Structure 1
Amino acid sequence: MANADERRFEVLRAIVADYVANQEPVGSKAIVDRHNLGVSSATVRNDMAALEEEGYITQPHTSAGRIPTDKGYRLFVDRLSEIKPLSAAERRAITSFLDGAVDMEDVLRRSVRLLAQLTRQVAVVQYPMMTNSTVRHLEVVPLTAARLMLVLITDTGRVDQRTVDIGDVITEEDVARLRTSLNAALAGRRLTEAAARVAELPEQAPADLRDATTRVCTVLVESLVEHPEERLVLGGTANLTRNVADFPGSLRQVLEALEEQVVVLKLLAAARNPGAVTVRIGEENEDEQMRSTSVVSVGYGMDTLLGGMGIVGPTRMDYPSTIAAVRAVANYVGQMLSGK
């Protein structure tokens, strides 16, 4: 870029920083006073006029300063040369808060609360996508003489429990045989493959176990098939109400959209690779109800993408700090759920 273009970007950067901090339109005098750009107010005014003509900033009221547009925020985010690192205290807080988790469900609940606290936005975490999971073990527990509990455990730590009525008395020896045959078919297999194997088991079962195997396998398929409506944890929704002015006439629409998990899953769909942060700003969001928001999302997992997480907030947000927080929490959750 030419020097004039670089200087105009520094003016845009100053406008973004001041507007995010103060929620007030930014004038040329404020930029000269607060930011060491080494140029006069007249030069800054000319640069602001050029930025406005190019659609990067706008003047909300006559005689007011300028505020960034979605296009301005996009240029700012695209040119972030470095992401503000988390402080040692913030890193310690992540470690100590998540280290206390007892299982995968707890990890996800804690990560949502932590992300909402760190960013002061709405945090969302997607359950590990079952299509990428493998079966670690299936436990078969007798509840009564004719009722069993199935406990499916995946390599990501997900635990799914189902009960099944056998319809007849089953002995402990038969329960053990059933457990052995099920684990032989399922253990170490991806859930999609495991579901196919489960469908074949009744035909292969001994005659005296065929009815019980059929009933168990029918219920077990429910644990092996993906259920998108069960895949999200949301937290910090009340954070959106801190600055209602950021959502002129649209806060209710945003809250309603967040209740529709299909909408939120779409927001996370861009998170395709672990560690790769995606930022969607305003009009870039596909859902019309979310076009007053920005979404910062990232995939989590180590070698394999397990799921997505991110935050939803107003376009007026501290992008460097938010990106750093989302990336750090995702990295830690990925390590925990991958057992590394």
Structure 2
Amino acid sequence: MRLTRRACLALGGGAAAAALAVRHAAFARPNGVPGAATPIEVRATPITAFGLGERDGRQVGSLLFRGGAVLRSAHPAFGGLSGLWRSSDGTALVAVTDAGAWLTATVVSDEEGRFAGLEGARLSPILGPGGAALADGPAYDTESLAIADGVAYVGIERVHQVMRFDWAGAGVLARGTNVPVPGGRPALSANKSFEAVGVVPKGGALAGAVIAVAERAGAGEATPTHGYILTGPQRGRFEVARSGDFEITDLAFLPSGEVLLLERRFTMLTGPAVRIRRIAADAIHAGALVDGPVIFQADAGYQIDNMEGLAVHRDGAATILTLVSDDNFSMIQRTLLLEFELVG
């Protein structure tokens, strides 16, 4: 989701931020999404401390900060990272941008196994059913990503769709096919749609089902949003509780089947905030209202931005969470990649 004009003004202030806000209102996506897989250089500036000033922030809630980086590239289509996936061992990274592009790369780790940068990075167009780039049509706003059993699922705002891609068979050359939403096209705001997509792991009643959750489904800071079980015998809609004016930006499943919900809030008074809720494995079913405890929350006193992507992988016995921010292709925001260990 792109930040509003007021939010850009609050983040940057002055004429420069206003000009950027007008630019993003006029152009739905940046120029430069490549027509084929294109190598790019991504530079990583390490983040060694999560807290700012006197805040240590080594452990916040149930998450222990491992490290991270500010990512930058000279390519005009780099940025806007809104959906994230890492392989089971953490070495392969795939992201989608809200301009309709894949970012693929290999993760470089330091001697302690922590994130140090990306190598072999490529930007590629996400292709629709007919082979045309999504960037050239109304389904460009790709916001969420899950990959399981060789299949990639991408949530798309504005058109309220989830597309399926044969990732194992064709990789970035795969053409998307639409996954029907129970009840037909949802009645959602154009810019508040499928920010979160995940695939339920094996072992539960919904094993293998594709889950999608909308960022926000109505006015009011506590109005529940809509979630959908898109595949399997229990297809249907459920509701996700909201509070504190936080909006859903991604989800990821733990091996236990529990769901981690990534949420974002921005106000002109307090700036950005991020939190994660933990949802019980058996909470999701058609007709349910799901909620769970907040296990992590951070505000502008920490190294955060517009946090939109969440991935989970294992490092030995440790469960690692990776968060990425969507910089909205704006010079006044940053692309952050942050690693945490789940300790609670």
**Could you state the TM-score of these two structures normalised by the residue count of structure 2?**
0.26
Could you say which structure has the larger radius of gyration?
A: 1
